[in-house]
Chains A and B, each alone.
Chain A
Amino acid sequence: MPASAAKLRLAETVKEADLVIDGVTMRFETREGAITAVDDMSFSVERGEFVSIIGPSGCGKSTVFNILGGLVRGYEGKVSVGGDVISGPHPSIGMVFQEESTFPWRTVLDNVAFPLEVKGVRKAERHEAARHFIDMVGLNGFEQRYPAELSGGMRQRVAIARTLVFEPKILLMDEPFAALDEQTRLLLGDKVLKIQETLKQTTLLITHNITEAVQLSDRVIIMTFRPGKVKRIVDIRLPRPRTGDVVGSEAFGRHVAEIWNDLREEASRGMAESEAGARRRKG
């Protein structure tokens, strides 16, 4: 095959993929030697697709998140967004963080308007945009409140609205609901589903919660425990548009069981290693 044809073929496969992760490996130097956090990971996320990455604690999920967000460098392989190889935070990517990330000194309105403010958008305009997304996450009426006056779930919705206001093509979320209780998490999952159906955004969710992954995703990428690799990619065959009712369906249960089957081995390996580590430190 001539080089130009190969290039063309590559361009065709990449065309529909918004996010391509190609052979990404990340090593950290620690006191106990070098650790390979992520090992030769490759996958792609298509335009408008909702993909979850699931894995046990310590499998390098958050490292993948930080790499895709352009917050860490020094990895092997490449990440491209709409064909551009990234070398730092990419303007098409919006990030929602696991930890509390709202600004406590700004009202909900000014929190959400923040990305537009730093880009120099006029006040009236950015507030109008912010109001639209505050409404979308269901926080209308709370525009003038400060984060300390809201619940954890509401604050995380503020963070989501703040990311959406920027209208990123790709939404990256790192366990955004990890700190919330199960019921709130399911309800927020519904909200995320609705928003994604409206905006048709390419979304990559990092999670350790199997139900959340199945409830929201088109595909679930299962990661192995250290070094983090792609173990398997599961297609979630649940109808869309989805509602909260899907959680009770038989197909849902089958997917959860299937993923847990793959994950159990990794999770127990992770648990055994962290216990061994604790024992070593004690001795």
Chain B
Amino acid sequence: MRLAGIPPLAIGFATVGLVLGVVELLLLLGLLNQFVIPLPSAVLGSFGRLFAEEQLLERLMMTGSEALAASVLVSVVGISLGVLLYKVRILALATEPWVAAVAAAPVVLAYPLFLVIFGRSAATIIAMGFVAGLAPVILKTLEGLKGVRKSLINVGLSYNLTPSQQFWKIEFPAAIPTIFVGVRLGLVFALINLIGVEFLINFGGLGQLINDLAERYDLAGVFATIVFVILVSVVIFAALERMERWLRPGR
């Protein structure tokens, strides 16, 4: 079936609205349990209270800036290390399996160590997010650079490019799509860990608020806060997509 003329965004919102409406109805009819799932209308209704009483805006800003700091660190350090491993082959051979192992490890369990090093502070939260997101960025940067088509490299060689021209004009732009796959993965891990550690050490922005509200059994508030967590990730990923298109136009 074609929904000609209706913008996709409208269809998206309509779908979400419909699903929420159905959930609301099932809850009201008693087919779903209100002690487990709050009424969507109650979640919407709690927004005002959260802003007024729970400093939601400040918390949003705090988590947002932690997320931004971790994202920048993950991207800059991850891409640089990936480039280093690409340039120094012996390093890549020695460390690549370890980096891959770290990527699969539940780094969040190491939070006590970070608490000892950085104290119960935003630094711990950012560091946890950073460590969790680093491995995929390194691996994908390395993969992207190793996978640059031989013909593009040969074009550069045939024009006698300097090594730095060869890297910045050909290898790096050619690798950008793969590098961004890594950055996207890395940021997912970083965000999950960031919110998780806020929750665990009961410090900071949205993660702490979710912890508080859950302790008070304020289900509507918990779900409402989760909506704002999603908002943070949507904003970060939209910005990331913009950046990719700016850095690497033309698909």
Contact = CB atoms under 8 A, between A and B. Distances in A.
A278 B92 CA distance: 34
B154 A71 contact: yes
B102 interface: no
Contacts of B151: 97-101
State the majority secondary structure of interface residues on B.
helix
A95 interface: yes
A89 B173 contact: no
Interface in A113-153: 114-115, 117-118, 146-148
B250 A71 contact: no
Interface in B156-177: 157-161, 165, 169-170, 173-174, 176
Given A71-B158, A105-B176, A118-B159, A99 B149 contact: yes
Nearest to B166: A118
A247 to B, nearest CB: 29
A99 B150 contact: yes
Contact of B249 (A70, A91, A105): A105
Contact of B159 (A98, A106, A148, A166): A166
A103 B173 contact: yes
A198 B247 CA distance: 38
A6 B17 CA distance: 91
Interface in A73-128: 88-89, 91, 93-95, 97-101, 103-107, 114-115, 117-118
A55 interface: no
Interface string B139-162: 000000000011110110111110
B248 interface: yes
A69 interface: yes
Contacts of A115: 159
B155 A146 contact: no
A118 B149 contact: no
B58 to A, nearest CB: 41
Nearest to B150: A99
Contacts of B173: 103, 105
Contacts of A71: 154, 157-158
Contact of B161 (A100, A118, A146, A166): A118
B165 A118 contact: yes
B216 interface: no
A74 B149 CA distance: 23
B2 interface: no
A176 to B, nearest CB: 12
A105 B250 contact: yes
Interface in A8-49: none
B36 to A, nearest CB: 49
B165 A101 contact: no
Contact of B250 (A70, A99, A117, A148): A148
Nearest to A98: B151
Contacts of B176: 105
Contacts of B152: 101, 103
A101 B155 contact: yes
Contact of B251 (A98, A99, A148): A148
B242 to A, nearest CB: 16
A146 B251 CA distance: 8
Nearest to A107: B250
Nearest to A162: B155
Contact of A89 (B149, B158, B169): B158
A235 B154 CA distance: 32
Contact of B154 (A88, A93, A97): A97
A104 B170 CA distance: 10
A91 B165 CA distance: 17
A118 B169 contact: yes
B160 A89 contact: yes
Given A89-B157, A105-B250, A114-B159, 9 more contacts: A94-B158, A97-B154, A100-B151, A103-B173, A104-B251, A106-B250, A107-B250, A148-B250, A166-B159
Interface of B: 149-152, 154-155, 157-161, 165, 169-170, 173-174, 176, 248-251
20 contacts: A71-B154, A71-B157, A88-B160, A89-B158, A89-B160, A99-B149, A100-B149, A101-B152, A101-B154, A101-B155, A103-B152, A103-B155, A104-B250, A105-B173, A105-B248, A105-B250, A107-B250, A114-B159, A118-B159, A146-B250
Ranked 7 nearest A-B pairs via Cβ: A146-B250, A99-B151, A101-B151, A95-B158, A148-B251, A97-B151, A105-B173
